[in-house]
Structure 1
Amino acid sequence: MERLVKSARRYPVVLATLGVAALVIVLLALGQGQAAQWLASAFALGVAAWTTVGMVRDVLRGHWGIDILAVTAIVSTVAVGEYLASLVIVLMLSGGEALEDYAAGRARRELTSLLSRSPQTGHRYTTSTAEVTDVPVSEIRIGDTLLVRPAEVVPVDGTLTSVDAALDESALTGESMPVQVTTGDRLLSGSVNGGRALTMRVTARVEDSQYQRIVALVEEASQSRAPLVRLADRYAVPFTIASLVLAGLAWFFSGDPVRFAEVLVVATPCPLLIAAPVAFMGGMSRAARAGIIVKGGGTLEKLSRVKTVVFDKTGTLTYGQPSLEAVHPENGWSADDVLAAAASAEQYSTHVLADSVRLAAAHRGLDTCEASTASEHATNGVVAELPVGTVVVGKRSFVAQFVDDVPTITVTSGHLAIWVAINGTFAGTLMMSDRLRDDAPATVAAFRSMGADEVMMVTGDLQATADSIAAAAGLTRVHAEAMPQDKVAVLRTLERPVVMIGDGVNDAPALAAADVGIAMGARGSTAASETADVVIMADALSRTADAMAISQRTIKVALESIWLGIALSAGLMLVAAFGFLPAIVGAATQEVVDLAAILNALRALSAGRGARSLMPIDAQGRGVRAPALSDSTAEAS
């Protein structure tokens, strides 16, 4: 009952129309046909007048609506005495908003569920007294200890301080299997705690936490309008003109003004107004369910017709977690000295290799020290002033700018080298290896199957290392040793539209320069995620191809829905023009047309018949090997 009352308040014209219709039926049953006609006609004309006022306001704001067809249909049906048909048109006009809200609500269900789950409070925990205080998330500070009870949402990013926990990260990554974490592991806001309470130390404020970043992206996406949606608005203008011309011709050749009304009754183009937005919201919702945040409908449209796909290497085609294979010291330095100095300098780097170097030093029990000054040179290396002297860590060409006699070494397949100089002398190299993602070859193949003419790699790594990874992934074109500005320059020479896929700070310029930038944002850079048009929350490269498959299906469904509505309405108008469709029957039939177009648009929520499911990911949200990907060829056809 409460829901019914709320709906009545939200859609008062619908309620009034139903009430008037009931009174008209009663008057007809009592033999008061004239009174029924006057009541229905007066009400219908009143609604038409009110709609006209709103339509004029829209026109003055520069938005050309197509309510003129509905208004003309109401007036014409009243004029020729088809007052029951006029009531049906009024119901269709007023109920269209309710129908659109329902359809759009269902289409954006996954998006709105993300917003509704946003944590509002946290339980601040005082260790010394074991006291728990509930505070708004906006008051949570870095360094606070929080208690998260079973089945509660982690409110901000932090690290686990209790022994272990099982977390559901499905809202972030689309992976339903719980993720096991232990003391010191990172906790992402938005993940759901498992069966027992945990404690955590806060490492980010709410506005900087993972879940709030997703919420911001979702809010931006839900307010966007795709070019195809705007195109549907433009379709409406010629449709309106054609409908009025056909209705006029039907009247002229038949000599019967009723024909004019009968044609316009079935000409209301609700599918043009509703179907395309519903399809786009459905596509973005389906993507969100898979851990893919698309920032706008326009991105879906561009992604559907991509011609060139460009991958970064480290952290994108590879897992981005290189392991230390060996340390080769030189000039009297020990392996531990070289590794400790490199790890101390890498504390000031945001490159994915820096974490691996620091982790390797920690595993060997080596202490790092603070630098008096430090500067990072993107994609090249770091210079830090440490107690041992000036330490330079990075590529050979970069280190060679500071010291002489830096040797050239042969890097074997699948490995990479980091050069280290200490206090003006070359100190040695760190040999690292970074494994190709299991799902990389299938992802590359999927992009090609969906219409990408070229799939390539652009990376800052050495040519030998890049060639090795590219060959394993199935790529034949590689641009190696590219700085951020070089990546942008390469993108400008490629066939458009271009997709750039990356994960680090150094990828941000290229992501912005591409037609569609896709950031591997599960554990990646905030800068990359904010610059990109699509953010992959799961640590699965396959989701990038899934995003393209979803976009292609969304566009296909949107266009089908638009043309389905136009075709059905055009057919009904021709039938009505020849006098075979009475006004009351036509009005009821048009409702069926609107419903059919909207239900068709909601197909964007699903993969579709014959389409393959999304590539599987494991409990850590990583892509795993699979023979085929996504909706690829099924949807491309």
Structure 2
Amino acid sequence: MPVDAVEVGDLLLVRPGALVPVDAVLVSEHAVLDESSLTGESLPVERVAGERVSSGAVNGASAVTMRAVALASDSEYQQIVRLVEQAAGSKAKVVRLADRYAVPFTVLSLLIAGVAWAVSGDAVRFAEVLVVATPCPLLIAAPVAFLGGMSRAARHGLIVKGGGTLEQLSRVRSAAFDKTGTITTGRPVLDRIVAAPGFDEKSVLQFAASAEVYSSHVLAKSVVAAAKQQGYALLEAREAEEIATNGVAAQFASDATAAVVTVRVGKPSWLREFAPTLAPAPLEPGELAIYVAVDGRFAGAIVMRDQARGEAGQALHDLRLLGIERTLMVTGDVAATAEPIAARLGIDEVHAECRPSDKVRIVSAVQPRPLIMVGDGLNDAPVLAAADIGFAMGARGATAASESADIVNRYDTLASLPLAVRVGKDTVRIALQSIWLGIIISVALMLVAAFGFLPALVGPGSRRSSTSSRSSVLCAPSDRARSGVRIIADRHGRSCGP
């Protein structure tokens, strides 16, 4: 049914991997949700019956039921969409490159033509100057350069939504980053294994991964992937059972004794019932532990955390070489998790536990400008719209973020960010070279025409015809007008062209 048709009190079925449509209260006993696009918290969040769930969160691997407590128009997701619209409406308009040169060039052309008329006393001299006052450098050079820049960016997976964005990129001085899914991968990975006495790291990870194959928990895939990456073969279970909200239990045949081994993987409170010697693993901010017990003995803990992207450090280094003076991390995650990552990468300042409106307020006050904001989640959509340049990590980003950004990165890598800045600088440099070269040639020809050495008939902007020179002079200046597609006739009624 349409989300706008949901009424307060309706019972909703949210399927695995589906977006929570409206703010609701969980009715099912347990749910695991990905709230990273809303809060910036990279690790899955567990909710129990009676807890409130915000719209925009992504359900885990099990279908759950919820009861709506707000209409779609009043829910968290819609509030963020409205914030995007407000931010986009308040964004300053960019003055296009050619427009900055058009008025001075026109004034200069009229001034030279007027002086030539006044000094020579011949009105034809005024027309002769204007004939060669060609605006082609402004009409052609800049658009062609920007089209080339956008094409070059597209070859590297960067969708640039306008030439004005390339102009802003060429002058960018500050950069702000979201953390989860932008600076970090957004997917928990193995950090270390804490093995209990009598067990080694290999056996702990191998047993855990073999049991987690039968779990629907979102972290189970990360454990299995870590074991496969280490090259450990998964054991085939004789029997397996997932205990909701707690973990998974599986039975395996031991290679050495052929005896049946029972492995339990999950929460420490649950495992302590079967393994009283369980000892909590020491954790740093942003880490979580998955505990393992084998035949009633505590085997160890698997510590996982969200890791910074491998290319993040080099990308930030390249940005500084390209003229970025100030870098910020603006995240919804807690400071204890964000600050160590920012310190390792050399990010200047950290703003943690930010809601979408907080991000807009912080970024709007940052100096120097222009500022580029890099993000991927739903909660980044308003600040992407408010920043001078919004850069969306579109490979994993929410639709709202991609729609509100000025640049969408189709590839899930930060290496494209300095490339985008470099393309912007190269594009504007080439456009300026073309504009100035064209203006210099035009001014030189205007000066030659001002002294009477360049008749209107041989001017680059004139149209040759079989009419008199006076007819050509009358047609040519009007024919140069490009403000609209018009047909101009000379005094004999013949067409001078569009």
1:295 and 2:157 are equivalent in the alignment: no
> What is the letter of the counterpart of residue 401 of structure 2?
A
Cα 1:500–1:368 change in 2 (3 A) is: farther
> What is the letter of the counterpart of residue 558 of structure 1?
A
1:276 and 2:149 are equivalent in the alignment: no
1:232 and 2:98 are equivalent in the alignment: yes
CA distance in 2 between partners of 1:533 and 1:574 (Å): 43
Q: Which residue of 2 aligns with 1:480?
A: 352
Q: Which residue of 2 aligns with 1:319?
A: 185
1:417 and 2:283 are equivalent in the alignment: no
Cα 1:248–1:510 change in 2 (3 A) is: closer
Q: Which residue of 1 aligns with 2:275?
A: none
Q: Deviations over 1:38-78 (max 9, x none)?
A: xxxxxxxxxxxxxxxxxxxxxxxxxxxxxxxxxxxxxxxxx
Q: Which residue of 2 aligns with 1:36?
A: none
Q: Give how far 1:242 is off.
A: 3.9
Higher relative contact order (CA 8 A, sep 6+): 2
1:518 and 2:391 are equivalent in the alignment: yes
Please state whether the residue corresponding to 2:431 is helix, strand or coil: helix
So what's the TM-score if we normalise by structure 2?
A: 0.52
Q: Determine which of 437, 443, 446 is the counterpart of 1:573.
A: 446
Cα 1:315–1:572 change in 2 (3 A) is: same
CA distance in 2 between partners of 1:316 and 1:532 (Å): 14
CA distance in 2 between partners of 1:512 and 1:449 (Å): 26
Report percent identity of matched pairs: 53
Q: Give how far 1:303 is off.
A: 2.5
Q: Which residue of 2 aligns with 1:433?
A: 305
Kindly indicate whether the alpha-carbon contact (under 8 Å) linking 2:214 and 2:242 is maintained by their aligned counterparts in 1.
no
CA distance in 2 between partners of 1:491 and 1:364 (Å): 51
Q: Give how far 1:336 is off.
A: 7.1
CA distance in 1 between partners of 2:397 and 2:132 (Å): 53
> What is the letter of the counterpart of residue 527 of structure 1?
A
Q: Give how far 1:573 is off.
A: 0.6
Q: Which residue of 2 aligns with 1:449?
A: 321
Q: Deviations over 1:385-410 (max 9, x none)?
A: 999xxxxx99xxxxxxxxxxxx9985
> What is the letter of the counterpart of residue 454 of structure 1?
R
1:538 and 2:404 are equivalent in the alignment: no
Kindly indicate whether the alpha-carbon contact (under 8 Å) linking 1:228 and 1:276 is maintained by their aligned counterparts in 2.
no
Kindly indicate whether the alpha-carbon contact (under 8 Å) linking 1:411 and 1:465 is maintained by their aligned counterparts in 2.
no
Cα 1:241–1:571 change in 2 (3 A) is: same
1:458 and 2:324 are equivalent in the alignment: no
Cα 1:532–1:385 change in 2 (3 A) is: farther
Q: Deviations over 1:331-374 (max 9, x none)?
A: xxxx979x97997465xxxxxx7974796799898989899xxx
Kindly indicate whether the alpha-carbon contact (under 8 Å) linking 2:290 and 2:303 is maintained by their aligned counterparts in 1.
no
Q: Which residue of 2 aligns with 1:87?
A: none
Q: Which residue of 2 aligns with 1:306?
A: 172
Kindly indicate whether the alpha-carbon contact (under 8 Å) linking 2:213 and 2:221 is maintained by their aligned counterparts in 1.
no
Q: Deviations over 1:511-535 (max 9, x none)?
A: 2332222112224433332232211
CA distance in 1 between partners of 2:215 and 2:382 (Å): 27
Please state whether the residue corresponding to 2:438 is helix, strand or coil: helix
Kindly indicate whether the alpha-carbon contact (under 8 Å) linking 2:134 and 2:461 is maintained by their aligned counterparts in 1.
no
Please state whether the residue corresponding to 2:186 is helix, strand or coil: coil
Superposed, which structure 2 residues align to 1:296-445 within 5 Å?
Answer: 296-325=162-191, 344=216, 346=218, 356=222, 411-412=283-284, 416-417=287-288, 431-445=303-317
Please state whether the residue corresponding to 2:391 is helix, strand or coil: strand
Q: Unmatched 5+ residue regions in structure 1?
A: 1-225, 329-334, 347-352, 372-383, 388-392, 395-406, 421-427, 591-637
1:506 and 2:372 are equivalent in the alignment: no
Kindly indicate whether the alpha-carbon contact (under 8 Å) linking 1:341 and 1:368 is maintained by their aligned counterparts in 2.
no
Q: Determine which of 110, 125, 135 is the counterpart of 1:259.
A: 125
**Which is richer in strand?**
2
Q: Deviations over 1:423-479 (max 9, x none)?
A: xxxxx9973134333322221122222222211222334434323322332224223
Runs (4+) of structure 1 exceeding 6 A deviation are 339-343, 357-371, 384-387
Q: Which residue of 2 aligns with 1:65?
A: none
Kindly indicate whether the alpha-carbon contact (under 8 Å) linking 1:306 and 1:498 is maintained by their aligned counterparts in 2.
yes
Q: Which residue of 1 aligns with 2:69?
A: none
CA distance in 2 between partners of 1:490 and 1:546 (Å): 26
Q: Deviations over 1:10-36 (max 9, x none)?
A: xxxxxxxxxxxxxxxxxxxxxxxxxxx
> What is the letter of the counterpart of residue 463 of structure 1?
A
Kindly indicate whether the alpha-carbon contact (under 8 Å) linking 1:499 and 1:516 is maintained by their aligned counterparts in 2.
yes
CA distance in 1 between partners of 2:172 and 2:142 (Å): 20
CA distance in 1 between partners of 2:459 and 2:377 (Å): 58
> What is the letter of the counterpart of residue 475 of structure 1?
I
> What is the letter of the counterpart of residue 545 of structure 1?
P
Q: Determine which of 468, 490, 504 is the counterpart of 2:362.
A: 490
Cα 1:342–1:454 change in 2 (3 A) is: farther
Q: Which residue of 2 aligns with 1:28?
A: none
Q: Which residue of 1 aligns with 2:152?
A: 286
Cα 1:255–1:437 change in 2 (3 A) is: same
Kindly indicate whether the alpha-carbon contact (under 8 Å) linking 1:498 and 1:514 is maintained by their aligned counterparts in 2.
yes
Cα 1:540–1:450 change in 2 (3 A) is: same
CA distance in 2 between partners of 1:499 and 1:430 (Å): 38
Cα 1:517–1:539 change in 2 (3 A) is: same
Kindly indicate whether the alpha-carbon contact (under 8 Å) linking 2:281 and 2:301 is maintained by their aligned counterparts in 1.
no
Cα 1:358–1:480 change in 2 (3 A) is: farther
CA distance in 1 between partners of 2:340 and 2:214 (Å): 26
> What is the letter of the counterpart of residue 522 of structure 1?
A
Q: Which residue of 2 aligns with 1:583?
A: 456
CA distance in 1 between partners of 2:138 and 2:220 (Å): 53
Kindly indicate whether the alpha-carbon contact (under 8 Å) linking 2:281 and 2:289 is maintained by their aligned counterparts in 1.
no
CA distance in 1 between partners of 2:441 and 2:191 (Å): 66
Q: Deviations over 1:193-243 (max 9, x none)?
A: xxxxxxxxxxxxxxxxxxxxxxxxxxxxxxxxx9443x6346435534543
Superposed, which structure 2 residues align to 1:152-301 within 5 Å?
Answer: 227-229=94-96, 232-233=98-99, 235-301=101-167
CA distance in 1 between partners of 2:243 and 2:160 (Å): 40
Higher-Rg structure is: 2
Q: Give how far 1:252 is off.
A: 3.5
Q: Unmatched 5+ residue regions in structure 2?
A: 1-92, 195-206, 229-233, 249-265, 268-278, 292-299, 464-498
Kindly indicate whether the alpha-carbon contact (under 8 Å) linking 1:309 and 1:499 is maintained by their aligned counterparts in 2.
yes
Number of matched pairs: 316
Please state whether the residue corresponding to 2:459 is helix, strand or coil: helix
Q: Deviations over 1:456-505 (max 9, x none)?
A: 22233443432332233222422334444443343233224322212233
> What is the letter of the counterpart of residue 148 of structure 2?
G
Cα 1:532–1:257 change in 2 (3 A) is: closer
